[in-house]
Amino acid sequence: MTDRLTPDQTLAAGSEIASPNGQHRAVMQGDGNFVVYRANGTPKWATGTDGRAIGGIIMQGDGNLVMYDSNGPVWASGTDGHPGAVLVMQDDGNLVIYGVDGTPLWATGTNITMMRVTGFLPTMNGFHFSNAFAHAPDIQINILGQNVAIGDAANGLCGGMAFAARDFFQAGQRPPARKDSPTSGVLFDLLVRRLFDSFEIPVGPARYAALMSPDLPDHETALSEIGLAPHGRAWVTIVEEWPKIRAGIDGGMPMPMALILIKDRDVFQMGNNHQVLAYGYDMDGNDLSILVYDPNCPDDNNVRINLDLGNPRQTTRMWHSHIDSARKEVVENVFAFFSQGYAFIMPPAIPTPDPAAVERSFKITNATPGDQLVKVFNPGDTAMLAPLPAGEFNVPPNQFGTWVFHKMLSQVRLTANDRFLGLASPGDAITITGDDTVEFRNTGQLAMPVRVYKATDDLMWVTLPGGQFTVGAGEIFRYTIPADVTTIKAIINGQRSNAVRGQVIIF
């Protein structure tokens, strides 16, 4: 799609030109109206010629932009006498006719305020890998000679990536060019350190908890208006937090910001929120679109947070948007956002990844619908009783884990959910395809208790490990069959059902 009409070119009914950034369109509508739209569908200017039988609009060779019906011209820009002029839909939202010398001859006056941090773009200054990490502890602490793992990188390091991206920018450096997510080393340690910095303990978790709470209204209340109750999410975002973020961008620095994506009283769900780095904004009256580097969308310069600043006392829709690989817009609701306290640290020198380290690891992908607990054993440990260091980790569905071989090892034994997978060597890529779960699907209106036994246990004295649970109404529960069991029997509300791996039980 082009952004302009050149001399003697006609824009037919049903066609449009669009700004290079995709945020503004000039549409020749089938109803005869020529309209400038924002990306959110808001019309900003029109010729007012709807209801006419007009086949299109032409950028004439004499420089005049004209619309005709069967009786003659019905609208014109009045710029004739400037042969060679062109019509351009600009990134700032203004539709302009330029003469051959670059002089603007006519415009719709629909330009918006555009602010960018000079020199910052996600494709240049963001990390080129996604916020998707293999299962590995964020940090390990040695306690009485034992390495105790804390955290799991697979839950995401978005805050660390946002903070570190600003560190590199402020230091006048580019992030490492690598496109694979690190699992250890200097860069991984930096991201983990900056992740913990982004938590702003103890203030940060309290801010998340307050804005996540379902008890906090999205709008103002009579008590919040007089200072006797906390302000609603819209007020906090628009009145208190956005001005801080804007001031940083106006001052030439990208600003870390936290996005509230859930409402939940359970503070352990805090990790379901997100962190990004704002580096620009477009302001069209009260319509605000913030450009962000999103660690979940590497090398994407068009990720935005959108909202209307017009009425902070009322519930305000906010949303995160980007274009996916299928060129479709993906939209996620945002309930609030806030600026994050940031202090610069000089990023360390990041060594180029050692190809030998990659070659000393194997990758294991879970292609089953349930979690897989992977254990790694010494090849001589035929009983598989003691996993090797860091050799026990969980791999959720459609995710992967890696394990780096110790220098003295060239082969290991693997199990997944205690089923023997075989031997693995450095460089191997292993996929778990066998589904060792039974799916219990409750389609009723009441929660149902379930007890699971070996099929041969006629007396049903002892349930299998983890074999006593409740499946809520309309919910699904996956039970992992122990490795030494072939067939199970399940008692659901007094009814018996036998099952093997991969089976679905509907009740």
Model pLDDT, residue 141: 41
83 part of a folded domain = yes
Q: Write 490-496 long-range contacts (CB < 8 A, 24+).
A: 490/438, 490/440, 490/450, 490/451, 490/452, 490/453, 491/450, 491/451, 491/452, 491/453, 491/460, 492/440, 492/448, 492/449, 492/450, 493/448, 493/449
In this structure, the answer to whether residues 21 and 65 fall within a common structural domain is: yes
Per the CB < 8 A criterion, the answer to whether 507 and 495 are in contact is yes
In this structure, the answer to whether residues 150 and 296 fall within a common structural domain is: yes
Say how many domains are in the chain: 4
**Hey, how many other C-beta atoms are within 10 angstroms of the C-beta on 256?**
25
42 part of a folded domain = yes
At 321, give phi and psi (nearest 5°). -140, 145
Domain that holds residue 52: 4-111
In this structure, the answer to whether residues 173 and 262 fall within a common structural domain is: yes
> What CATH number is attached to the domain comprising 22?
2.90.10.10
CA distances from 315 to 219, 281, 285, 321, 453 (A): 5, 22, 18, 19, 51
33 part of a folded domain = yes
In this structure, the answer to whether residues 462 and 408 fall within a common structural domain is: no
Mind spelling out the 3-state secondary structure of 115-126? EECCCCCHHHHC
Model pLDDT, residue 334: 96
Percent of the chain surpassing pLDDT 90: 52
Write down how long the chain is. 507
In this structure, the answer to whether residues 179 and 266 fall within a common structural domain is: yes
Kindly state the tokens that stand for 139.
């940090």
Q: 281 falls in which pLDDT band (50, 70, 90)?
A: very high
In this structure, the answer to whether residues 159 and 94 fall within a common structural domain is: no
In this structure, the answer to whether residues 159 and 286 fall within a common structural domain is: yes
> What CATH number is attached to the domain comprising 406?
2.60.40
Which among 388, 378, 387 is positioned nearest to 413, based on CA atoms? 378
Which among 350, 405, 393 is positioned nearest to 185, based on CA atoms? 350
Q: What is the DSSP string of 147-199?
A: EEEE--GGG--HHHHHHHHHHHHHTT-PPP---SPPSSSHHHHHHHHHHHHHT
345 part of a folded domain = no
Asked if residue 142 has pLDDT above 70, the reply is no
Query: What's the mean pLDDT in 115-125?
Result: 94
pLDDT in tens, 325-340: 666 778 899 999 999 9
In this structure, the answer to whether residues 132 and 209 fall within a common structural domain is: yes
173 part of a folded domain = yes
117 part of a folded domain = no
Q: Which residue has the higher pLDDT, 330 or 469?
A: 469
Asked if residue 211 has pLDDT above 50, the reply is yes
187 part of a folded domain = yes
Model pLDDT, residue 128: 93
Instruction: Write down which residue in 374, 402, 432 finishes a domain.
Output: 432
In this structure, the answer to whether residues 472 and 401 fall within a common structural domain is: no
Per the CB < 8 A criterion, the answer to whether 488 and 453 are in contact is yes
Model pLDDT, residue 333: 95
pLDDT in tens, 256-275: 999 999 999 988 888 889 99
Instruction: Write down which residue in 339, 370, 386 finishes a domain.
Output: 339
**Hey, how many other C-beta atoms are within 10 angstroms of the C-beta on 395?**
22
Taking the C-alpha atoms of residue 255 and residue 293, their distance in angstroms, rounded to an integer, is: 10
Which among 258, 297, 274, 277 is positioned nearest to 128, based on CA atoms? 297
pLDDT in tens, 150-209: 456 677 899 999 999 999 999 999 999 888 888 778 998 899 999 999 988 888 888 999
In this structure, the answer to whether residues 208 and 306 fall within a common structural domain is: yes
Instruction: Write down which residue in 369, 401, 432 finishes a domain.
Output: 432
In this structure, the answer to whether residues 366 and 333 fall within a common structural domain is: no
In this structure, the answer to whether residues 333 and 272 fall within a common structural domain is: yes
Q: Which residue has the higher pLDDT, 498 or 217?
A: 217
68 part of a folded domain = yes
pLDDT in tens, 6-65: 999 999 999 999 999 888 999 999 999 999 998 878 899 999 999 988 989 999 999 999
Asked if residue 357 has pLDDT above 80, the reply is no
The continuous run of DSSP H or E covering 212 comes out as helix 203-212
Taking the C-alpha atoms of residue 401 and residue 395, their distance in angstroms, rounded to an integer, is: 6
Intra-chain end-to-end CA distance of the chain, in Å: 53
